[in-house]
Amino acid sequence: MVRDCSGEVWFLLDLGHDYCCAEPEINAMSNQTLPLDDALYDYLLSVSLRESPVLAALREETAHMEMANMQIAPEQGQFMAFLLKAIGAKRYLEVGTFTGYSALVCALALPGDGEVYALDVSEEWTAVARRYWEEAGVAGRIHLELGDAAATLARLEASDAGTFDFVFIDADKTGYAGYIESALTLLRTGGLIAIDNVLRDGNVIDPDVSDDDTCAIREVNEALLSDDRVDLSMVPIGDGLTLARKRSMARDLQPA
């Protein structure tokens, strides 16, 4: 019997001097996403979160607001920033800004000539965002658009189609289907859409829940599954985040 540095116990069988390793006593592998209790979530953050002081301060201030549950999780923000860097993004657009954490974490991930377009309806919430954008030194690269998101997107579609690298959608759920269509127009080929709250705290599978927002999310989830304009992955981070990559129809749909 041999115990390795991980603590696993292996049994060595002497079969004419050829040693065989039996299965360890404890199998820590999983073929399903691991649920996170508070202790494991805290560990995840402790060994992976690289949150700047200004981001942490914004998150702390937002946590005391009445609508604090609208704030994205810090690991989700870091994941989105990672994706921006991975695809070499320079132009980022979000529908739904709240107090500005997502816009800030993404602005900090972009190169010096990068641009952020932040769409929201609340002067009160985005006033908080503006303070932290200024403190972080990125306010000059963030274009805040207050007003009806659909109208703003239509204007951008007329002038900036195919020029964005990443679109984050985290606003009114009944508007998601339209926002996704606009995002597909605004994105370059290979660009990403990130769609938030696609699990609705588990309500998407509860037959007794039939509010407009949950029904809209169910419809979006089902529609994206069969949408051949995008590559698709739903990630169980935060309240569920769907990633959709805009395909080049001529190239990505060719038979293998």
Residue 250 has pLDDT above 90, yes or no: no
> Residue 195: what pLDDT?
98
Residue 120 backbone zone (phi > 0: left; psi -120 to 50: alpha; other: beta): beta
Q: Give the Cα-Cα-Cα angle 85, 172, 75 (nearest 5 degrees).
A: 35
- Interval 70-128: pLDDT, tens: 999 999 999 999 999 999 999 999 999 999 999 999 999 999 999 999 999 999 999 99
Listing DSSP states for 99-136 in one string gives TSHHHHHHHHHS-TT-EEEEEES-HHHHHHHHHHHHHH
Label residue 37 exposed, middle or buried (CB < 10 Å: 0-12, 13-18, 19+).
Answer: exposed
Strands (E), the chain: 2-3, 9-10, 12-15, 18-21, 91-95, 115-120, 142-146, 164-169, 187-196, 230-235, 241-246
SS3 79: helix
pTM, entire model: 0.87
For residues 103 and 142, the answer to whether their CB atoms sit within 8 Å is yes
- Interval 183-230: pLDDT, tens: 999 999 999 999 999 999 999 999 999 999 999 999 999 999 999 999
- Interval 171-195: pLDDT, tens: 999 999 999 999 999 999 999 999 9
Domains of the chain: 38-252 (3.40.50.150)
